[in-house]
Structure 1
Amino acid sequence: MSPETRSRVMSRIRGRDTNPELVISALLRGQGLDFEVHARDLPGRPDFVFRDERVAVFCDGDFWHGWRFSRWRLKLSEKWEQKIERNRWRDARNHRLLRKAGWKVVRLWEHQIEASPEGCLDRILAALGTYKGVGLTKTRQS
């Protein structure tokens, strides 16, 4: 692919309101949960934030965040390999910073959301229910 074509293709990729995020958002709203999106004051700008429960949720794209990166990293140009590696490093740093600040972090991968959105919702609900038990809804209490 030419640099111009690659640039055009990459410029069309969104950083927010991605399909996996929209799926999770709809499921969370279906549970009647209140949450913030892309909180700028938290490391990594989590996709979903539950402040009272101190739970941060990330919906990570398999490519951009390097799911099983060691298996396919050598197929990339050096530029892209470095880009994904920096993303992975930044994700790990933000995870540590959030945990150190007392947050529970839920990381959902794109392929997990596609395969089992309800399973991903269960992971979020479990995190919300086990963190101090504050603000439990009927759905989470049962």
Structure 2
Amino acid sequence: MVDRDTRSRMMSGIRGKDTKPELMIRKALHARSDPFRLHAPAVPSKPDLFLRRYRATIYVHGCFWHGHECHLFKLPSTRTEFWQQKIDRNRTRDAEVEAALRDQGWRRFVISEGALKGKTRLEFENLMNRLCQRLAAGGETGEIAGSVV
């Protein structure tokens, strides 16, 4: 069994910014010459990326932390109540952020980790085409998740 100090050290190694999936999206947007900014303090919740030109924000969500219903999410068997409450708080915060962004006229796009890796991942070029089409269309917000297995 892992003690609290060891668990804290392990958890402190989990990044909130500049994750591999986020860097993949940034590199692809840069290659397409779509100007973006990172973690804008003026936008609610400091999105991973925001594109002023499209009045859009992009979040790259880890399936575990946001409780996505996919093969990458598994509720831990220890301290189940703690983890369930934490994930529920994250989901609630996601909904609050979406409402705040909508109120300020921002569109919100979420790319789930399952779309980028694992057995449900999408072909990366296809994922980026879908994202760029949605951005340019000026329509509704949305989520790009992995394919159904």
Is the structural similarity TM-score above 0.5? yes
Give, as a single letter, the amino acid of the residue that structure 1 aligns with 2:22: E
Task: Measure the CA separation in 2 of the matches of 1:76 and 1:112.
Answer: 27
Residue 109 of structure 1, CA deviation: 0.4
Aligned length: 131
Residue in structure 1 matching 2:100, options 91, 97, 101 = 97
Whether the aligned pair in 2 keeps the contact of 1:48 and 1:58 (CA below 8 Å) is yes
Cross-structure match for 1:120: 127
Q: Higher relative contact order by CA 8 Å / sep ≥ 6: 1 or 2?
A: 1
CA 1:36 to 1:20, structure 2 compared with 1: closer, same or farther past 3 Å? same
2:94 is the alignment partner of 1:87 = no
What is the root-mean-square deviation of aligned Cα atoms in Å? 2.0
Alignment of 1:1-142 (within 5 A): 1-68=2-69, 72-73=74-75, 75=77, 77=79, 78-114=81-117, 115-116=121-122, 117-131=124-138
Query: Identity, % of aligned pairs?
Result: 37
Question: Which sits farther off after the overlay, 50-59 or 116-125?
Answer: 116-125
Task: Measure the CA separation in 2 of the matches of 1:39 and 1:98.
Answer: 13
Question: Which sits farther off after the overlay, 4-13 or 116-125?
Answer: 116-125
Question: Which sits farther off after the overlay, 71-80 or 15-24?
Answer: 71-80
SS at match of 2:38: coil
* CA displacement, residues 50-70 of structure 1 (integer Å, 9 cap, x when unaligned): 11210111000111111128x
Cross-structure match for 1:139: none
